């Protein structure tokens, strides 16, 4: 309804007990209770009832109620739950909001222009490193709303930090200065070289999820220093490496630094992405129990370089990485080895490096020569023992099949000291064939193969094991098997195929021949290769 007339502003004041019926629009101030009222006016004028309406102020009982909080449950007022032993438990709105804290409460903007490093570091220090850090109530989850947080120096992440963003490429911490995007520190703020001094708590129990760590210069995404029990979930580590570039020892997606007294251990990456670093993962210092589960590794010179600078004598580089596992992950556009467990010192080297159930695309270990060229780079290289590849899929090897004979891919899947067990394959063996290819295995000079198989042909079957020893001089093999009855009429052989004149491009070809019975056979087989 439009305003018809404003003739004057009326007000009264006095004690609450003396408050009269106020005229329409008239104000009444209770000086003793600090409460304010306005007259309703008459019903004839449109008021719902004659009386006075209180205007909420800090002195009103309803004001404090507006600043209080009672948990109602998922049905709200419709079917509220009881939160106290007798009636509801009430908290202030301030206390309720303090259950959650954002970096924006400390002045961070995330607008891709403001320098946010001081604000974010202030939040990390206040929650996890200052004088009250021993009180677990101070260790709240620190939330990073979606945005790009620009920094020009490494963030220092203390023990018990729990950082949560809204997801990769939504919450981005972008470093344009020197050093890693983030490093771990102790609760006194001491960095690598001083971590743990004077009894400080070393970096531990750190959880980070839903954040992109982006470095626009050739420095690490994350440096894990003297830390234990670190858990990364759904994070992205992005550098500045350009496809086709060369190696750079400073460009590392994730790296660790240890000392003899404080080695790193128990570091887990789940559903994380690593891209555009010369080395997506670089582990040389003493570290144990590292896990990469369901991750994506893309666009780099090396995928995971393990033990590259291990020397057996420098503080923190005495025994090297142990128990490093990659599982269920994908690897693509990597110019050299996807995983290289390197023996750089000759005396100590990484041990127990495991690759299991990973996908290695055809553009991995292509030596910048392109798909279809003759390559001399293995996909996985184990220079030390106790290393295994189990049920991995190597896409480039499948290109070697007889119908893609131009795809030589001379380098082996696995080279060095190790074993790879491939997934079971099934293939039809046509009737009445001679010297027909089943599969090819690259560059197997000095390597051994064990092919465990079962052949079914009509009502007949055979179970066996074909052992192959290959060298540049030829191939020797032994087929040991047991049949259910009569001969199934299938012969398995192995021959050396030089493919071309290039030394090292030799291929072992597994072939079969079948008798003429009018019935095809089926072979299910699994290959194990001793590198």
Q: Give the model confidence (pLDDT) of 266-278 as tens digits.
A: 999 999 999 999 9
Confidence band for 66, pLDDT divided at 50, 70 and 90: low
Which residue spans within 226-344 are E strands per DSSP?
A: 228-233, 236-238, 252-257, 264-270, 273-275, 279-283, 287-293, 296-300, 302-306, 321-327, 330-334, 339-341
DSSP string, 2-43: ---------EEEE-GGG--PPPTT-EEEETTTTEEEEE---T
State the chain's maximal CA–CA distance in angstroms: 116
**pLDDT above 50 for 2:** no
Q: Under a CB-based contact definition with an 8 Å cutoff, are residues 341 and 349 in contact?
A: yes
Whole-number pLDDT of residue 404: 47
As a whole number, mean pLDDT of residues 371-396 equals 83
Mean pLDDT value of segment 280-303:
98
Question: Residue 3: pLDDT band by 50, 70, 90 thresholds?
Answer: very low
Lowest mean pLDDT: which of 103-107, 214-218, 414-418, 489-493?
414-418
- Provide the CA 121 distance to its chain's centre, in angstroms: 23
pLDDT surpasses 60 at 19: yes
Q: State the pTM of this model.
A: 0.84
| pLDDT confidence of residue 325 | 98
370: confidence class by pLDDT, cuts 50, 70, 90: low
What value does the mean pLDDT of the chain take?
89
Inform me whether the pLDDT recorded for 259 exceeds 50: yes
- Least confident span in 274-278, 446-450, 451-455: 446-450
- For residue 304, pLDDT over 70 is answered with yes
pLDDT score, position 7: 55
pLDDT of residue 418: 84
Q: Does pLDDT of 474 surpass 90?
A: no
Q: What number is the average pLDDT over the span 376-395?
A: 90
Query: Where do we find the tokens 């540049």?
Result: 472
Kindly list the structural domains of the chain, giving each domain's residue range(s) and its CATH number in brackets, ordered by start. 1-75+90-95 (no CATH), 100-191+201-229 (no CATH), 241-423 (no CATH), 425-530 (2.60.40)
d(CA 184, CA 202): 9
Confidence of residue 148 (pLDDT cuts 50, 70, 90): very high
* Residue 402 pLDDT: 44
């Amino acid at each position: 309804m439009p305003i018809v007339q404003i003739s004057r502003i009326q007000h009264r004041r006095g004690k609450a007990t003396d408050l009269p019926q106020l005229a329409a629009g008239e104000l009444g101030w209770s000086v003793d209770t600090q409460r304010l009222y306005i007259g309703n006016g008459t019903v004839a004028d449109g008021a719902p009832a004659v009386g006075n309406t209180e205007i909420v102020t800090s002195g009103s009982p309803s004001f404090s109620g507006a600043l209080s909080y009672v948990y109602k449950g998922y049905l709200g007022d419709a079917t509220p739950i009881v939160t106290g032993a007798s009636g509801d438990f009430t908290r202030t709105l301030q206390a309720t909001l303090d259950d959650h804290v954002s970096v924006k409460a400390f002045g961070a903007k995330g607008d891709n222009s403001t320098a946010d490093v001081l604000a974010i570091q202030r939040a990390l220090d206040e929650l996890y490193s200052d004088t009250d850090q021993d009180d677990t109530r101070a260790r709240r989850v620190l939330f990073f709303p979606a945005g790009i947080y620009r920094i020009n120096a490494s963030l220092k992440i203390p023990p018990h930090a729990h950082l949560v963003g809204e997801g990769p490429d939504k919450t981005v911490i972008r470093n344009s200065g020197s050093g890693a995007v983030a490093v771990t520190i102790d609760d006194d703020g001491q960095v690598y070289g001083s971590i743990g001094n004077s009894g400080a708590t070393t970096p531990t129990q750190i959880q980070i999820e839903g954040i992109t760590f982006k470095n626009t210069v050739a420095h690490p995404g994350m440096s894990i220093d003297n830390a234990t029990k670190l858990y990364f979930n759904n994070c992205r580590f992005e550098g500045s490496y350009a496809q086709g570039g060369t190696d750079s020892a400073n460009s590392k997606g994730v790296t660790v630094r240890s000392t003899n007294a404080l080695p790193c251990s128990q570091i887990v990456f789940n559903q994380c992405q690593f891209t555009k670093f010369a080395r997506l993962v670089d582990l040389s210092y003493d570290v144990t129990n590292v896990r990469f589960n369901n991750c994506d590794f893309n666009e780099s010179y090396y995928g995971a370089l393990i033990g590259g600078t291990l020397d057996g004598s420098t503080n923190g580089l005495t025994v090297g990485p142990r128990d490093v596992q990659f599982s269920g992950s994908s690897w693509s556009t990597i110019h050299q080895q996807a995983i290289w467990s390197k023996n750089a010192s000759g005396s100590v080297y990484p041990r127990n490096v495991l690759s299991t159930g990973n996908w290695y695309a055809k553009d991995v270990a292509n030596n910048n020569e392109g798909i279809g060229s003759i390559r001399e780079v293995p996909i996985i290289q184990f220079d030390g023992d106790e290393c295994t590849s189990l049920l991995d899929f190597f896409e480039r090897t499948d290109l070697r099949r007889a119908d893609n004979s131009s795809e030589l891919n001379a380098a082996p899947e696995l080279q060095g000291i190790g074993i790879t067990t491939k997934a079971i394959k099934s293939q039809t063996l046509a009737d009445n064939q001679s010297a027909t290819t089943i599969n090819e295995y690259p560059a197997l000079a000095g390597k051994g193969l064990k092919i465990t198989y079962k052949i079914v042909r009509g009502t007949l079957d055979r179970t066996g094991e074909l052992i192959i020893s290959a060298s540049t001089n030829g191939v020797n093999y032994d087929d040991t098997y047991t049949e259910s009855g009569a001969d199934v009429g299938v012969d398995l052989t192995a021959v050396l195929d030089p493919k071309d004149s290039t030394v090292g491009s030799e291929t072992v070809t597994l072939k079969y021949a079948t008798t003429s019975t009018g019935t095809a056979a089926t072979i299910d087989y699994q290959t194990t290769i001793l590198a």
